[in-house]
Every structure is written in C-alpha cells, then in structure tokens.
C-alpha cells in the first residue's frame, strides 16, 4: 500500500466494477440464510460464542505459559520450534533452512501470516520455486492480485476472469466451466504436491496440550502440503494457540458456520509430530524421515496481548464473517477496504502488524454499524477497537490543524456552536425548500445529488421549551431532557413530542440550558481530550437539574453518555463518581415509554390505518439493545398498521461524518434502505434516531416523496389530545 494512496479513486473504480459488485452482492444476500440454516442445530448460539470468547480470553491471560507448553510438546514429538519476532527473523530462519536442506521447490497452502510479510515474493527473489495450492490463492497468484477476503481470497473474480487467467497460466484455451477449471487446476497442481521439497502451511489453531496444529479446509490441499513433502513448516501466530484439544471444539463448531455457512468443512486435519514422508527416489516411492518446523510468529502480537483493549484480537478465529455482513466491504471489497487483512478487523490488524500510517488510510471506512460484533464468534468489539486506535493515533500525532481548531473552538464552546447553527438557519435559505436542502452550489453539489440534506430549523427546540412546558401538579417524576444537536436544531418537533408524551404521563420535564453536543463527533475522530471538556459541561448541566431521569430520544447520545462517558473518566476518581451517578439515571425514550405504557395497559395491538414500518438504528439495536419496545409502541398506535420491512436493522449509511465524507459509499447503502421501505408498502417509516431520520428523509425526498418519516415520539404524541 502506498502512503499516497488515492482512496477516493480506488473506491470509485470498485463501485464501477460490475463483476465485483455482483459477486459481493450475491454472497451478501445468500450468506445470512446459509449461516442461519447452519446454526439450526445449535440450541444456544450466544452460549457457544461465549465459550469461544471466554476460552480465548483465558488463553491470552496465560499466553506465555501456553506458548511454552506448546513448544515443549512439539519438541517432545520430534518437531522444532522457532519463535520469530518479526518478518525479517522469520524469512531469515526459513531461507537458512532451505539452504541447509537443499530445498528448491515449495508447496504452500493458504496462510494469511505469510501474506503479512510477502513471504512468497521474498522466496522467489532468492531463486526458489513457490506455488500456492489453495485454489483461490493459486488463482490470485497467477492473476498478480492480493487476497480480497480471508476465507475466499478470489471472491472478487468471476468464472470468465478466472478462465482467462487459467488460459494464460496453462498456455491453452480454458472454457469458463467451473467443474472443468477445477479439474485443470487439480492436474496442474498435482506435480507441485509430489515434487515439493518443502510444504508450508498456516494453522487454524495450535494445541498446547499435545503440540498439534489444526487445519480446516474444503479442498484437502493443506493436508497434502502437510504430509507429502519431506519437510513441513507450520507458520502460526500466537493468537492461534489454545490450551487443550477440547478447546478446539467451539472453534470447530463456529468457524465453518460463520465463514461459509457449513456445518463442517470437507477436511479437518490435526497434525502432531513429525510423521514419515513418502519421497520418490529412482522411480520408487520410499519412506523417509520427515522434518517438522513450527514457527511461532509475533510481529506485534505479543505487544497486543499486553494491551487491555487490543488483546481482544486474540478472540478472532479468522472466519471473516465480519466481512460477510459489512455494508462497506460488500460495496468495494478487500482490495480497497483493507491492506493485507480486509474490513474492520483488517484495519485493526493493519495497525498492529503493519503500521499506523496504513491504518489511518482505511479506518474511516468502518461505518460503526456493529453488525460485525453482532455476528463475531469471539464477540470482538471491532468498531470500539477502531475508535480506540484512532484515539491512540491522535495522542501520538495530534489532529489536523483545521479539525482541531473546530473541535476546540466550536464544538467545545456551546455558545459559539449554537450561534453558528442559528446563523446557518439564515444562510441556508436560498437553497432550502420546506425543511430540506435539495441543491447546493459549486463543489458542494455532490452532497445533495441523490439525497436532500436536512435544513436547520428556523427556531431551535431550546427556544420552544417554554411554550411546550406545562406545569404539572404533583408530578410522579422529574425528567431532564437531553435533546442532542439534531433534535435541538434540526428536528425540534421531535423534542416537542417527547415533552408532550412525558407530561401526559404526569411527569415534570426540564431542559438544562447549558447542555451541548454529546461529543460523539469528537470521540469518533479520536479526540478524547476535547470530548472530556464537552462531557464535563453536560455533566455539570444535568447535575444542577436534580432529575430522577435523564431522557434521550437519540440513541447515539444515550449510548455516548451511558458507555463512553464512563470510559472517558475511568482514571479520574472525582469525575468518574459524578458520571456513574448520572449514568444510572439515563433512559432511552421508546424503551422507557413502552415500560410506562405497559404498566397502565396502553400496549394493546391495533390494526387498520396507515401502514407504518420501522428502521432499527445501529446505535439503538446493537448499542443499547433496544428493538422490541419501539415495535410495541407502533403496534399499539391507533390509526397505524405496523408491517416489517426487509433488512430493517441494516445501516442506513449515515454514520455521522462518514455520510458526508464518503457520499459515494453512503448513497448505495441508503438506496437499499429506501428500496426496502418502498417494497414494504408502508406509507410511513418510523425511526427512533434523529441521525437516521436525517439520512432517510433525504433519500425519501429524492426517491420516494410519498413516504413520510416520523420519529416514534411523534407517532405516540399524535394520540394525545391537547
């Protein structure tokens, strides 16, 4: 990857690649169905995932002891172990071994660890014949490509492209028939297995108990590479080590199901010790003593194991399911969204195993939807680790001057920030139609090409509070409302609806005037210092409110308070105590109201009226774990008939700054959402997140103007008589 990589250009090229888009879209559509079917026989999927996570956590806590035991057991069974600190050490050891043993031909099975250090290129430069034998790896090696997926490295190519590469490699016309091409590959690779002096494999796991390495494959090539050549070399990262053979069971139950939707792969090999090898001498096959060399590869892994956050990477089983559900990967593939490893997990591994400079070039492509975490067998918080690494990068190198100036002088200064928004409401008027901006001039035009942008309200919610506040005699609770920037300045009507519903429940509602942005935009960029300043302003404002609850109608703000504020002040005893006291009172609006309505018997299902469907915000469902309550409220709303839509919980493509910076990616994701809304037949799309409301409203305005969008709070408020 070049340091001056033109990411925007690469994105646009891949978006125009119909073959790539077709392959990735077909797989993305088929994968969830295949995975769900594969897990039908598993009684408790979450318990199985917990077993993977807990075993991996326990392993990394005792990594040195387990590594020592693994080495001892490999040695006991006739193997040799070398611990390679980095790629240079690994290459030196391997090349010296080749020279010592007279190795000329090497057969390899798929190993992402060797991709990290470009091992094939190094060995070929030294005059060795190296051949990949995994079908996908062989295809991309003759095509001159890098893997675009950890499990399916050639997923970006179709059969016509593969046939062309086969024809070039085999010097004959190869028809694009898959069965025929597989047969031709089998014939071409057979000699590589039979005449290799050395076989190099990776490993899916290494067992400390008996020194065995496990290989999970569908082609059987790894088993041939491991058994036929007289010298076997296993290259295994420390994160693949597990304590006992029993610990392999949850990996074997989750890895194939998550990777390809299979109950089990075609081949499961466990190799322990240096078994005899068959070699051909003078036309006869004879038994020869086999050598086994196991290279334990560090390259940044041991450092990560000592980091309280980053050691989560040890929970990865390399199933690549995170790529299979990633909306951005599905659009552009791993050659754009990746370095060696692809997707969100690839960005993290890039930072640890390559460089922070390479990480910086791709980390912003993580949309933060958390579908990867929802499906990961090891329950790795991939978006959280990316944000953690961003913060590390900011600590090390700082923010760009312009960004830093905006954060420190605007977002961290409530009065300046709010005054600028008020000015924006005036300056936008030449481009505003109703409540949206449908066009922009000059180089801003692209931002409003396929969606309308939200207009800043003429009168923010904070200026409407007095008008909508009712005096409540003997209130049952005192509630302080945190509006967030979007409700305050874009959707003040949603704030009015929140007040109306809470006051109808005989609650006193107050609005702390000194509240500001929750700080999520700053946190997303990794600027924790400014985020702490913003958080302190909000904490003080809500302490003074002395409320029973702090109410949020924006899940992003609620999650930021509930989780991130606690993390921000974990090393500051005074502020930590103050935060925890407030966080205990944080409530998300729809889940709170559903609970209150349930108490008084208002959650009675209704039918007839306008069809309404619901979009699950990523922060709402996968951050706050709230998804049934909004539906309960919609199902009980008179005048509405609730219907589900396809992929209701897939991201709308907003994701804060992502939706602006990467418009070319945000728009295709939004289009799928709009298509699903239209296909549902709904006349109203309900949301519980103002950010999603901004994005979907903009898409509807350009693509489905007859469909209305409403916050759930507005639909509930409609039922209350003034």
- Domains recognised in the chain with CATH numbers: 7-297 (3.40.50.10420), 461-717 (no CATH)
Strand segments, DSSP code E, in 96-208 are 105-108, 129-132, 198-201, 205-207
| Element housing 482 (H / E) | strand 477-482
Strands (E), 556-636: 586-588, 610-614
| DSSP class of 560 | I
**Residues forming beta bridges with residue 287, ordered by sequence position:** 278
Q: Does residue 136 contact residue 111 with C-beta atoms inside 8 Å?
A: no
d(Cα 626, Cα 614) in Å, to the nearest integer? 13
At residue 620, φ and ψ (nearest 5 deg) are: -70, -55
| Rounded Cα–Cα distance for residues 584 and 435 (Å) | 36
Orientation of helix 7-15 relative to helix 663-680, angle to 10°: 40
- Name the β-bridge partners of 234: 201, 294
How far apart, in whole angstroms, are the C-alpha atoms of residue 221 and residue 200?
11
What pLDDT, on the 0 to 100 scale, is given for residue 274? 76
Query: 447: how many CB neighbours lie within 10 A of its CB?
Result: 17
The dihedral built from the CA positions of residue 239, 244, 247 and 251, taken in this order, carries a sign that is positive
pLDDT at position 438 is 62
Give the pLDDT of residue 422: 84
Distances (CA, A) of 137 to 107, 133, 146, 170: 12, 7, 9, 16
Contacts of 534 (CB under 8 A, 6+ apart): 411, 412, 516, 517, 518, 519, 522
pLDDT reported for residue 442: 44
Tokens of 351: 């930072």
Residues of the chain with pLDDT under 50: 1-3, 442-443
* Contact yes or no for 364/338 (Cβ under 8 A): no
The answer to whether the CB of 241 falls within 8 A of the CB of 63 is yes
The pairing of beta strand 241-242 with beta strand 549-552: unpaired
- Model's pTM, two decimal places? 0.91
pLDDT of residue 455: 85
Chain centre distance of CA 29? 17
- pLDDT tens-place string over residues 407-436: 888 888 888 888 888 887 888 777 777 777
- The per-residue pLDDT for range 191-231, each reduced to its tens digit, is 999 999 999 999 999 999 999 999 999 999 999 999 899 99
């Amino acid at each position: 990857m070049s340091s001056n990589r033109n990411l925007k250009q690469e994105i646009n090229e891949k978006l125009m690649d119909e073959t790539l888009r077709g392959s990735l879209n077909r797989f993305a559509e088929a994968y969830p169905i295949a995975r769900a079917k594969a897990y039908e026989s598993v009684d408790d999927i979450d318990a199985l995932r917990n077993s993977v996570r807990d075993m991996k956590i326990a392993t990394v806590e005792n990594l040195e002891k387990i590594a020592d035991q693994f080495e001892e057991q490999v040695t006991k069974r006739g193997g040799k172990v070398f611990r390679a600190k980095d790629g240079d050490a690994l290459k030196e050891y391997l090349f010296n071994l080749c020279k010592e043993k007279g190795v000329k031909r090497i057969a390899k099975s798929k190993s992402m660890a060797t991709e990290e250090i470009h091992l094939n290129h190094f060995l070929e430069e030294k005059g060795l014949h190296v051949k990949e034998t995994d079908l996908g790896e062989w295809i991309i090696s003759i095509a001159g490509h890098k893997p675009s997926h950890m499990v399916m490295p050639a997923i970006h190519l179709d059969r016509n492209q593969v046939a062309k590469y086969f024809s070039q490699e085999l010097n004959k016309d190869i028809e694009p028939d898959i069965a025929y091409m597989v047969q031709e590959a089998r014939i071409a690779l057979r000699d590589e297995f039979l005449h290799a002096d050395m076989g190099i494999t990776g490993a899916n796991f290494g067992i400390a108990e008996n020194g065995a390495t496990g290989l999970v494959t569908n082609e059987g090539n790894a088993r041939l590479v491991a058994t036929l050549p007289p010298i076997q070399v296993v290259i295994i990262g420390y994160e693949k080590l597990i304590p006992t053979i029993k610990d392999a069971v949850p990996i074997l139950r989750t890895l194939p199901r998550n990777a390809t939707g299979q109950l089990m792969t075609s081949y499961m090999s466990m190799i322990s010790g240096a078994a005899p090898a068959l070699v051909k001498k003078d036309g006869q096959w004879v038994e020869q003593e086999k050598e086994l060399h196991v290279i334990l590869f560090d390259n940044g892994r041991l450092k990560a194991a000592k980091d309280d956050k980053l050691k989560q990477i040890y929970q990865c089983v390399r199933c690549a399911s995170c790529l299979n559900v990633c909306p951005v990967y599905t659009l552009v593939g791993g050659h754009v969204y990746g370095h060696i490893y692809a997707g969100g997990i690839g960005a993290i591994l890039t930072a640890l195993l390559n460089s922070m400079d390479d990480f910086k070039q791709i980390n912003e492509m993580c949309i933060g939807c958390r579908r990867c975490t929802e499906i990961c067998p090891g329950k790795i918080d991939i978006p959280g680790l990316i944000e953690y690494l961003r913060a590390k990068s900011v600590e090390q190198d700082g923010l760009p001057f312009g960004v830093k100036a905006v954060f420190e002088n605007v977002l961290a200064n409530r009065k300046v920030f709010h005054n600028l928004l008020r000015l924006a409401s005036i300056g936008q008027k030449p481009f505003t139609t109703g409540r949206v901006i449908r066009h922009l001039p000059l180089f801003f035009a692209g931002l409003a090409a396929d969606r309308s942008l939200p207009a800043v309200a003429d009168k923010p919610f904070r200026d409407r509070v007095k008008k909508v506040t009712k005096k409540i005699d003997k209130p049952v609770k005192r509630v302080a409302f945190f509006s967030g920037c979007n409700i305050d300045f874009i959707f003040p009507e949603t704030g009015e609806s929140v007040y109306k519903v809470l006051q109808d429940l005989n609650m006193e509602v107050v609005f702390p005037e000194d509240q500001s942005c929750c700080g999520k935009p700053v946190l997303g960029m990794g600027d924790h210092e400014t985020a702490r300043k913003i958080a302190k302003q909000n904490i003080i404002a809500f302490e003074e409110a002395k409320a029973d609850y702090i109410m949020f109608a924006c899940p992003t703000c609620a999650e930021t308070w509930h989780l991130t504020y606690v993390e921000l002040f974990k090393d500051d005893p005074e502020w930590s105590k103050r935060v925890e006291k407030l966080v205990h009172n944080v409530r998300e609006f729809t889940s709170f109201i559903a609970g209150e309505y349930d108490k008084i018997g208002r959650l009675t299902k209704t039918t007839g009226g306008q069809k309404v469907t619901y979009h699950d915000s990523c922060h709402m469902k996968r951050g706050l774990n709230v998804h049934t309550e909004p539906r309960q409220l919609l199902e009980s709303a008179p005048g509405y008939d609730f219907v589900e839509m396809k992929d209701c919980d897939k991201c709308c493509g907003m994701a804060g700054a992502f939706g602006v910076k990467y418009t070319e990616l945000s728009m295709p994701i939004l289009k799928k959402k709009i298509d699903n809304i239209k296909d549902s037949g709904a006349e109203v799309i309900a949301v519980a997140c103002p950010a999603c409301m901004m994005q979907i409203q903009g898409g509807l305005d350009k693509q489905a103007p007859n469909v209305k969008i409403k916050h759930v709070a507005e639909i509930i408020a409609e039922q209350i008589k003034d």
